[in-house]
Amino acid sequence: MLTLLADFSYLYSPLNIFRYITFRAAMGAATALFFVFFFGPGVIAALRIKQGKGQPIREDGPASHLVTKKGTPTMGGLMILSGLVAATLLWANLRNAYVWIVLFVTVSFGLIGFYDDYLKVTKQSHAGFSGKMRLALEFLIAGLACYALMETGGENMTKLAIPMVRGYVATLGPLFILFGAFVIVAAGNCVNLTDGLDGLAIVPSMIAAGAFAIFAYLVGNSIFSNYLGVNYVAGVGELTIVCSALIGAGLGFLWFNAPPAQIFMGDTGSLALGGLVGAVAVAVKQEFVLVIVGGLFVIEGASVIIQVGYFKLTGKRIFLMAPIHHHFEQKGWKEPQIVIRFWIIAFVLALMGLSTLKLR
């Protein structure tokens, strides 16, 4: 919204600063941070009153959670989403279609998660609504977003890029909608599975958002993209502001989510964050880099698939408990130990993903 002020820079030259993505990204992060930090206590108090017993804790999960996490309210993703959306609307160029597409995925996934959280709280059951219905809605939303991306970005949006290879390697055509939707849905659900310990999902999400903020800025700049050998996508630079707003909102939420958590983000937050990162990765044509940058989420999701698949085949378990962060809990690792070590892994993987910029 404030980018409109740049149109009046001919009257007052300092207004030209509102054209710069770097300035608006920094201000977007700061705005989201203070928004969540300021309104957070009121949201937590309201949710605590509304939810009473808080989020139901899995009885088949670690026994310690029944004591340490019982009564903690959920749906804290509402704090993240409100700060993120407010900052984006204030600092991003609202004439940019990519901004609206990513916001559409983020808010829609957040609404799906919110409904799931609502059912869990009201029924005091860990089961939300039908998994098949939930996946169907996610694919529908992601498919619509990918169609909009294809209409916005043209033929290049349907092409496939691989890290460390210059140019596009294949054209997917209409299959891009299915491929892109899979990436977005997978990202949303992998982040959702990662959200099991205080602070475990939010920091890696912020790290991934930081990495893709850099990708969006470089891919959306014709000079930098040409120098680095990455595929130029006009207009996606504005997604730098969206990613920065996620970082700011995440920092604000982490203040309240740090162990022992005052609130959980719930599916409201985890699905939305994963959907956002996935949508940005698709928009900037770095879908395969997402596997590296979001490698921690991939490991978490894969651990569940492997555990379930192996158990159905053999009746035995590979991990003591899945997702894999619970496996380490069962092995005796303390919660802060797991969380901080996973943060380190996420940071290293993000650096590895960014290093592909110069390996082309």
Task: State whether residue 289 is helix, strand or coil.
Answer: helix
CA distance to 20, 64, 101, 224, 228, per residue, from 61 (Å): 48, 9, 36, 47, 46
The owner of tokens 């378990």 is: 317
| Distance separating alpha carbons of residues 69 and 78, to the nearest angstrom | 19
The residues with which 168 forms a beta bridge, in sequence order, are 161
Residue 289's pLDDT is what? 95
Nearest residue to 284 via CA among 228, 352, 250, 238: 238
Nearest residue to 281 via CA among 179, 200, 360: 179
CB 267 within 8 A of CB 76: no
Residue 28's pLDDT is what? 97
Q: Is the pLDDT of residue 339 over 90?
A: yes
Please state, for a pLDDT cut of 70, what percent of the chain lies above it: 92
Helix ranges, the chain (H): 21-51, 65-68, 77-91, 97-123, 131-153, 175-194, 202-219, 222-228, 239-257, 266-283, 287-293, 295-314, 324-330, 335-355
CA distance to 173, 178, 268, 318, per residue, from 167 (Å): 16, 22, 37, 40
**pLDDT band of 69, cuts 50, 70, 90:** low
CA geometry: angle at 75 spanning 1 and 302, to 5°?
Answer: 100
Please state, for a pLDDT cut of 90, what percent of the chain lies above it: 65
| Distance separating alpha carbons of residues 83 and 31, to the nearest angstrom | 8
| Distance separating alpha carbons of residues 295 and 46, to the nearest angstrom | 35
Q: List, in order, residues 6 or more apart from 67 with CB less than 8 Å away.
A: none
| Average pLDDT estimate for 64-86 | 78
| Average pLDDT estimate for 320-349 | 93
Task: State whether residue 29 is helix, strand or coil.
Answer: helix
Between 309 and 1, the more confident residue is 309
Residue 48's pLDDT is what? 83
Q: What is the pTM of this model?
A: 0.92
Nearest residue to 51 via CA among 33, 31, 76, 26: 76
Residue 67's pLDDT is what? 43
Between 99 and 319, the more confident residue is 99
| Distance separating alpha carbons of residues 324 and 299, to the nearest angstrom | 8
| Distance separating alpha carbons of residues 310 and 304, to the nearest angstrom | 10
Lowest mean pLDDT among 32-46, 98-112, 154-168: 154-168
Q: What is the pLDDT of residues 142-195, one digit of tens each?
A: 999 999 999 999 888 999 988 878 878 889 999 999 999 999 999 999 999 999
Q: Which residues of 233-254 are buried (b: 16+ CB within 10 A; e: fewer)?
A: bebbbbbbbbbbbbbbbbbbbb
User: CA 136: distance to chain centroid?
Assistant: 19
Q: Is the pLDDT of residue 103 over 70?
A: yes
Residue 66's pLDDT is what? 44
Secondary structure letter of residue 334 according to DSSP? -
CB 257 within 8 A of CB 195: no
Tokens of 124: 């005091």
CA distance to 43, 75, 100, 158, 310, per residue, from 48 (Å): 8, 10, 32, 45, 39
Lowest mean pLDDT among 46-50, 226-230, 312-316: 46-50
Residue 56's pLDDT is what? 58
**pLDDT band of 259, cuts 50, 70, 90:** confident
Lowest mean pLDDT among 121-125, 219-223, 245-249: 121-125
Residue 1's pLDDT is what? 75
